[in-house]
């Protein structure tokens, strides 16, 4: 077999590192999971690649593409393990990062506070300069204050520096001048300019995003250099792509420059994989449920498009960058059951993680988890996970469930069912947040569970929300890794400038677009993207003049020269967007353009549909039968099928368990599962 066409996606999760490999010439697939190595994520990637190559029978040295979703940035923010960082800002604005928006992090908790700024007050240094609201120079850059700041940076031992000046998104002259001084006199210092990281209005969010970027730069720089160096030895021909929070890939060099763009890298890959699977099964409207070892991520897909959010928080810090709109809740296979002061049982957000993991893993876990509950109920095979490669200690699960059952006065099975009902309720609340609370009826959507634990828990969520169809992808436990292979290279560009949406301003708006098209051309050339693989997406952010927040208005683009429609047409598109978001629009109120966003895309080769294996048939036979507790008091003597024996057209009537290498799917009594032409599993939920 020609192995030069192997494409590999690697997603590093809190519990497992997943690898999805696809060979373009033959269409062959190879899947692999191995425990993550939190202390050094690269170790699991490199070991997993070697193991996958050996299992699939190809040489790692001939891999063509390796796409990587990383949690390094997110973990560094949660654990506060980034670099010592300083801030250079406009005189009299050093406390802006601490003042913020004066909004409580939790509305009804008077004691809750925002996390302390990553840069201490003594490390936030003021520069005597000022750019005005029209981009004019109000106060020239004072070199004496720059000299003093450089001395303070040396004396303070900062490893990174964020340069955040007022209105630099309109005129970056002063920021760039300071950036040049820092590069000349302190070349070892990692520097982030807000006019490069996030050139938009709203100073607090821009400053915060730039500070996070600087804080992460030294760590991501070391990680990317180490990973790239090791991969150059192991897979020298591989082109490496790092997933962004917006769902597109970027080069390792770009990731080192803008590490904050990777803050939600893994969940974004899952959303891309979900769109790919939904498209193959002809389901345009999907709600995803990505349930892993530590958390569950949900997002809403409409017309095969994932919505993008620009105002998110990561580890309590505001980030204003394009990100896939994902809602996360602490509900995973490793989520621990515990009793609150009110005597009621809660589940999560604390998790057993990869180490020690649930009790059934046999690594010292001593608290009952969601995975242990599934073991007690017979939903997980006693043969173990990963095709039997990872044994499960069923006795350990019963042992940790026993004290909880005794405290509640229930049987172990009823206690386990209650535990799962609680974690399901947590996930249902998350799904309501991205659907019902935004005007979407969940009953109009298909539920797509994935992640190692998603298909085990989909039924409860679907039943609670009135969803009638569950779509389980071909490889649900490794969909995030697959999503990395269907993502394109992308670069997000923005120009922030507020002006009325009137015909006289059309030319000025088009100039902003033309500037970004030029930058897109430079990026395409740097990334060596052929012209036939280039494309653009254009979005204009607009709002009524009396509003505080804007709506995204998608503008169709033909070819590679993005042209804005007439302002009258642009305003009509805004009215349509306002109708979708709020159910009305006022044609007489004046409208403003606030920002213009352009996404440059470099399309990459993507995997095709998987093919049925040699054992696949439309009339599969169960490999075993065992007692499984579903929603009833008594167990069902349930047939267990292996997923790779199911070919298109196969029908499985519940109750049933469908095992596969990367996940387990439950078909509840009364439900019917059918395999479609894309080898996805469509479950009809009994109403």
Q: What DSSP assignment string belongs to 456-472?
A: HHHHHHHHHHT--EEEE
- Does some domain include residue 321? no
pLDDT tens per residue, range 19-56: 999 887 777 888 888 888 877 888 999 999 999 999 88
In this prediction the pTM is 0.88
Read off the pLDDT of each residue in 632-652 and give the average, rounded to a whole number. Answer: 94
* Contact call for residues 124 and 51 (beta carbons, < 8 A): no
Q: Domain end: 203, 236, 262, which one?
A: 262
Does the pLDDT of residue 65 top 90, yes or no? no
Interval 291-310: pLDDT, tens:
988 888 999 999 998 888 88
198 and 251 housed in the same domain:
no
* Residue 377, in any domain of the structure: no
Q: Do residues 163 and 92 both lie within one domain? A: yes
Together in a domain, 119 and 237: no
Give the pLDDT mean for 514-541: 93
Q: Do residues 136 and 182 both lie within one domain?
A: yes
Residue-level pLDDT at 4:
55
Average pLDDT over residues 353-365: 84
pLDDT bucket at 1, cuts 50 / 70 / 90: very low
Q: Give residue-wise pLDDT tens across range 411-424.
A: 999 999 999 999 99
Same domain, residue pair 39 and 139 = no
Calpha distance 518→187 (Å, rounded): 29
Asked, for residue 34, whether it belongs to a domain, the answer is yes
DSSP-assigned letter for residue 361: G
Q: What is the pLDDT of residue 362?
A: 87
CATH number (domain holding residue 34)? 3.30.420.40
Let me know if residue 431 belongs to a domain: no
What band does 536 get if pLDDT is binned at 50, 70 and 90? very high
The residue from 602, 636, 663 where one domain ends is 602
**Residue 383 belongs to a domain:** no
For 656-675, how does the pLDDT look when each residue is reduced to its tens digit (9 = 90+)?
999 998 899 999 999 999 99
Whether residues 230 and 162 fall in one domain:
no
Residue 516 and residue 523 in contact, taking contact as beta carbons nearer than 8 Å? no
**Which 8-state DSSP code applies to residue 685?**
P
For residue 570, pLDDT over 50 is answered with yes
Asked whether residue 421 is domain-assigned, the answer is: no
pLDDT at residue 363 tops 50: yes
Q: What is the pLDDT of residues 198-209, one digit of tens each?
A: 999 899 999 999
CA angle (271 as vertex; 555, 37 as ends), nearest 5: 140
CA-based nearest residue to 272, from 251, 293, 244: 244
Mean pLDDT across 117-135: 94
- The reply to whether 110 and 237 lie within a common domain is no
For residue 259, the model assigns a pLDDT of 94
Q: Are 326 and 314 in contact (CB under 8 A)?
A: no
Last residue of a domain, one of 209, 240, 262: 262
| Low-confidence winner among 7-16, 260-269, 336-345, 495-504 (lowest mean pLDDT) | 7-16
Q: Domain span at residue 151?
A: 80-220
Together in a domain, 163 and 140: yes
Same domain, 111 and 201: yes
H/E run at residue 16: strand 16-23
Residue written as token pair 């469930």: 401
pLDDT tens for residues 571-618?
A: 999 999 999 888 899 999 999 999 999 999 998 877 777 788 888 899
CA 375 to chain CA centroid, Å, is: 29
pLDDT of 279 over the 80 cut: yes
The Cα diameter of the chain in Å comes to 81
pLDDT grade, residue 105 (50/70/90)? confident
Same domain, 177 and 71: no
Percent of the chain surpassing pLDDT 70: 98
Query: Among 6-10, 161-165, 280-284, 668-672, whose mean pLDDT is lowest?
Result: 6-10
Instruction: Give 446-494 pLDDT, tens digit per residue.
Output: 999 998 899 999 999 999 999 999 999 999 989 999 999 888 889 999 9
Between CA 63 and CA 53 the distance in angstroms is 9
CATH of the domain at 542: 3.30.1490
Pair 238, 198 in one domain: no
Average pLDDT of the chain is 91
* 240 in any annotated domain: yes
Q: Which residue has the higher pLDDT, 548 or 600?
A: 600
Domain count, the chain: 3
Give dist(CA 443, CA 445) in Å, integer.
5
Does 216 lie in the same domain as 227? no
Of 101, 98, 194, 180, the C-alpha closest to 143 is 180
DSSP sequence for 73-112: HHHHHHHT-S--EEEEEETT-TTHHHHTT---SSTT-TT-
Asked if residue 167 belongs to a domain, the reply is yes
- Indicate if the alpha-carbon torsion angle 44, 50, 54, 59 is positive or negative: positive
């Amino acid at each position: 077999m020609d192995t030069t066409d192997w494409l590999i996606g690697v997603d590093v999760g809190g519990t497992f590192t997943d690898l999805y490999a696809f060979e373009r010439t033959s269409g062959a697939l190879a899947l692999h999971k191995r425990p993550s190595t939190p202390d050094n994520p690269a170790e699991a990637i490199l070991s997993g690649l070697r193991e996958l190559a050996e299992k699939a029978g190809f040489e790692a040295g001939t891999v063509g593409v390796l796409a990587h979703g990383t949690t390094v940035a997110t973990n560094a923010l949660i654990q506060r393990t980034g670099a010592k960082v300083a801030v250079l800002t406009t005189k009299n604005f050093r406390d802006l990062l601490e003042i913020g928006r004066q909004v409580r992090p939790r509305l009804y908790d008077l004691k809750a506070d925002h996390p302390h700024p990553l840069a201490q007050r003594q490390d936030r240094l003021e520069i005597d300069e000022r750019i005005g609201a029209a981009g004019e120079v109000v106060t020239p850059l004072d070199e004496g204050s720059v000299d003093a700041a450089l001395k303070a940076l040396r004396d303070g031992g900062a490893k990174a520096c964020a340069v955040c000046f007022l209105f630099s998104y309109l005129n970056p002259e002063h920021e760039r001048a300071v950036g040049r001084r820092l590069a000349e006199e302190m070349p070892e210092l990692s520097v982030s300019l807000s006019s490069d990281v996030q050139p938009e209005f709203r100073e607090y969010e821009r400053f915060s995003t730039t500070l996070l970027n600087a804080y992460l730069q030294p760590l991501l720089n070391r990680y990317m250099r180490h990973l790239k160096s090791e991969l150059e030895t192991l897979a020298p021909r591989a082109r490496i792509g790092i997933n962004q929070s917006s769902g597109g890939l970027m080069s390792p060099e770009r990731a080192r420059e803008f590490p904050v763009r990777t803050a939600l890298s893994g969940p974004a890959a899952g959303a891309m994989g979900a769109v790919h699977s939904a498209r193959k099964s002809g389901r345009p409207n999907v709600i995803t449920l990505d349930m892993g070892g530590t958390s569950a991520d949900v997002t809403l897909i409409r017309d095969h498009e994932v919505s993008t959010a620009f105002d998110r928080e990561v580890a309590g810090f505001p980030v204003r960058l394009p990100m896939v709109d994902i809602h996360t809740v602490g509900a995973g296979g490793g989520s621990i059951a515990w009793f609150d002061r009110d005597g009621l049982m809660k589940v999560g957000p604390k998790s057993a993680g990869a180490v020690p993991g649930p009790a059934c893993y046999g690594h010292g876990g001593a608290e009952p988890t969601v995975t242990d509950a599934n073991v007690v109920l017979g939903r997980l095979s006693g043969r173990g996970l990963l095709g039997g490669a990872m044994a499960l200690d069923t006795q350990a699960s019963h042992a940790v469930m026993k004290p909880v059952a005794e405290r509640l006065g229930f049987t172990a099975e009823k206690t386990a069912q209650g535990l799962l009902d609680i974690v399901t309720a947590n996930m249902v609340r998350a799904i309501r947040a991205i659907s019902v609370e935004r005007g979407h009826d969940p009953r109009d959507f298909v539920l797509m569970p994935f992640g190692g634990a998603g298909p085990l828990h989909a039924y409860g969520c679907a039943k609670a929300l009135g969803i009638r169809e569950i779509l389980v992808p071909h490889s649900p436990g490794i969909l995030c890794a697959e999503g990395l292979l269907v993502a394109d290279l992308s670069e997000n560009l923005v120009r922030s400038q507020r002006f009325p949406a009137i015909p006289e301003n059309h030319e000025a708006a088009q100039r902003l677009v033309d500037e970004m098209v030029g930058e897109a051309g430079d990026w395409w050339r740097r990334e060596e993207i052929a012209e036939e693989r280039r494309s653009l997406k254009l979005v204009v952010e607009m709002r009524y003049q009396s509003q505080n927040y804007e709506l995204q208005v998608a503008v169709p683009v033909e070819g590679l020269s993005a042209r804005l429609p007439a302002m009258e047409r642009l305003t009509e598109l805004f009215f349509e967007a306002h109708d979708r978001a709020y159910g009305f629009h006022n044609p007489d109120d004046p409208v403003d353009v606030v920002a213009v966003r352009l996404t440059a895309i470099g399309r990459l080769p993507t995997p095709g549909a998987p093919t049925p294996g040699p054992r696949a048939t439309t009339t599969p036979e169960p490999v075993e039968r065992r007692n499984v507790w579903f929603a009833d008091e008594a167990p069902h003597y349930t047939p267990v099928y292996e997923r790779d024996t199911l070919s298109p057209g196969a029908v499985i009537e519940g109750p049933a368990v469908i095992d596969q290498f990367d996940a387990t799917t439950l078909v509840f009594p009364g439900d019917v599962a059918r395999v479609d032409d894309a080898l996805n599993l469509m479950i009809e939920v009994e109403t």
